[in-house]
Amino acid sequence: MNKQSIQHGKYILYEYPATDGQDSERQSAIEVNTNSRKCPSCKSDGTIFDGLTGEIICTTCGTVVLDKQEMPVSDINAKSRSGMPSSLVFPDKGLSTVITYSNTDANGTLLNQEQITTSNKIRYLDKIWGNNKNHLRNFKNAFAIMSTVTDKLGLTNPVIERAAYYYRKAFDSKLIKGRAIKEMVVASIYAACKEMSIPRTLQEISYAANAEPIFSGRCYRIMSRKLRISPTLVDATSYISKISTNAQISQQTYREAVNMLSVAKKNPICHGKDPKAVAAAVLYASCLKRNEADISQSKIATAGNISIVTLRKRLADILKIFPEVNYMKTRNK
């Protein structure tokens, strides 16, 4: 099915062609979403609704006006269906049939004794079928741990879907055998976070899952080698917001650090360095530039979960790029 493009301001929206009955309903829903709210940043009336993420987005400046909204009309990218959607996070992918314990038929009529006995046998056989399969028991334990880590770290559904995909691939490749489930779950989530540029370290995910970070790193290296997962580094810009929030840095200093980091990333001296350490060093250099004396190196290092020695090494590289910060540092002494 070919996609159709729609010009909406300076954005191009894509959608699948629908029937004539859905066009009028969808058009009215889009008009309600585009005219019912104003952007708090630019005061523009032009907003669109993203059905995949549930967000209302301003078409002028891109600000998310409202998030976690439900789709007012049926999913335009899927065929008409009933029931819950399939997902890799469920052990059976959400495709199994659940037999209820209500002894009534579809019309609400009570069953007789013979029918109740037959339905109880069917329930027992269905329970045995689900619990006697090794891969289903493994997936139940693994995805329960994955759900706990999701709640603790606030990860999104696409990240967990990708982590479940990596765990299933590792199970099919027989990498789970002889290794702890917790460590393999941590390795799967870490691989998904790195692929989607989510600034989460292996230690954070291990502590959320109550797993051992050393064994989790070993499982990740085995998984990345066997499944041929390309190692990707998270952009240092993703760490600045997290470190500035933990260290209680002002908004002006944070914006100055973002501008300095955009210049520092183009310099070869920062190539191959830890992005978290580079972000912490740039943030501390921004504090020196704005004369914030209450921000110390130990505070930035603790907020960035790095050592002070690593911060000083990366700070020496940053001061070579910005010599005016070095002059201010000497003058403040």
Residue 93 counted as domain residue: no
Q: What is the rounded distance in angstroms from the CA atom of residue 153 to the CA atom of residue 231? A: 22
Residue 164 counted as domain residue: yes
Domain end marker among 22, 46, 66: 66
Domain identity same for 192 and 212:
yes
Domain end marker among 66, 98, 120: 66
Residue 123 counted as domain residue: no
Domain identity same for 271 and 203:
no
Q: Which CATH number covers residue 53?
A: 2.20.25
Provide CB contacts within 8 A for 258, sequence distance 6+.
Answer: 237, 240
Q: Where are the beta strands (DSSP E) in 46-201?
A: 47-50, 55-58, 64-66
Provide CB contacts within 8 A for 157, sequence distance 6+.
Answer: none
263 to each of 239, 269, 273, how far by Cα in Å? 16, 11, 15
> Which residue in this structure is represented by tokens 């329960």?
144
CA atoms within 13 A on the CB side of 182: 13
Domain end marker among 196, 226, 256: 226
| Spatial contact of 214 and 221, defined as CB atoms under 8 Å apart | no
Residue 86 counted as domain residue: no
Total structural domains within the chain: 3
Domain identity same for 203 and 266:
no
Q: Which CATH number covers residue 207?
A: 1.10.472.10
Domain identity same for 266 and 310:
yes
Residue 177 counted as domain residue: yes
Q: What is the rounded distance in angstroms from the CA atom of residue 34 to the CA atom of residue 75? A: 18
Per-residue pLDDT of the chain (333 residues; tens, 9 = 90+): 444 544 444 444 444 444 455 454 444 444 434 445 678 888 877 777 776 666 778 877 878 877 655 444 444 444 445 566 778 888 777 777 777 778 887 788 888 888 888 888 888 887 777 666 788 888 889 999 999 998 898 888 888 999 999 999 999 998 988 888 999 999 999 999 888 878 888 888 999 999 999 999 999 999 999 888 877 777 777 788 888 888 888 888 888 888 888 888 888 888 878 888 888 888 888 888 888 777 888 888 888 888 889 888 888 888 888 887 764 554 444
**Which domain does 154 fall in, by range?**
135-226
Domain identity same for 210 and 255:
no
Domain identity same for 270 and 221:
no
Provide CB contacts within 8 A for 32, sequence distance 6+.
Answer: 72
Q: What is the rounded distance in angstroms from the CA atom of residue 145 to the CA atom of residue 186? A: 9
SS3 90: coil
The DSSP output letter for 99 is: P
Residue 285 counted as domain residue: yes
SS3 110: strand
Residue 105 counted as domain residue: no
Residue 195 counted as domain residue: yes
Domain identity same for 168 and 145:
yes
